[in-house]
Amino acid sequence: AQSVTQLGSHVSVSEGALVLLRCNYSSSVPPYLFWYVQYPNQGLQLLLKYTSAATLVKGINGFEAEFKKSETSFHLTKPSAHMSDAAEYFCAVSPKDDKIIFGKGTRLHILP
Amino acid sequence: DTGVSQDPRHKITKRGQNVTFRCDPISEHNRLYWYRQTLGQGPEFLTYFQNEAQLEKSRLLSDRFSAERPKGSFSTLEIQRTEQGDSAMYLCASSSPNEQYFGPGTRLTVT
């Protein structure tokens, strides 16, 4: 069975500071991994995805994530936080072309 | 806009009533998924279709829930005899290889 664990339901960072959202996964097969963002009262937007190509994945809005098989991690980072980054972030795992299993989410707060 | 659309965006209903939601996927996508998201949680898989065939249903999908995709295009999700625990955001997604595109969701409130 596949699952993801997001460490920290709430993360606060100052504007301009590094954003680090942690995600660990469990999978019995080589996984596809995703990060989604959800703004209030909106649907899910794909930030980036890992599909077994390059281990460092660059996404939209300056976000990137690194797949580390030895640590079963897929942490999301952004060098400099912006107020517009405040949202809920979901890490997710999926076998190829199948349903997506989501983590519980991390709410990112940006402090002025 | 050729993205995934869902209707209605919001639905308030009384306990015991039936509700139906509609999802229109991106036209060339064969796979369509339904997820449910409760407050403070990530989305949870409910069911999915490959064209008109319903290929998998989650144990979350009780007998009161039924989904259809009659012509392999739009899909409907019906909840019969709604309960307060059904209050959630219902998300639809359609899939190209390796990526699912999500609609804006239907927020259901059962009073």
Distance (Å) of CA B57 to CA A77, B37, B63, B65? 34, 16, 11, 10
Average pLDDT over residues A20-34: 89
pLDDT band at A23 (very low <50, low <70, confident <90, very high): very high
Residue recorded with tokens 């306990």: B15
Which residue in the set B35, B91, B98 is minimally distant from A32, CB to CB? B98
* Closest Cα in chain B to A31: B98
State the pLDDT at residue A97.
63
Cis (ω within 30 of 0) for the bond into B8? yes
| pLDDT of B30 higher than 70 | yes
What is the residue type of A78? K
State the pLDDT at residue B1.
54
* Closest Cα in chain B to A10: B40
Which residue in the set A9, A97, A102 is minimally distant from B98, CB to CB? A97
Q: Is B33 on the interface with A (CB under 8 A)?
A: yes
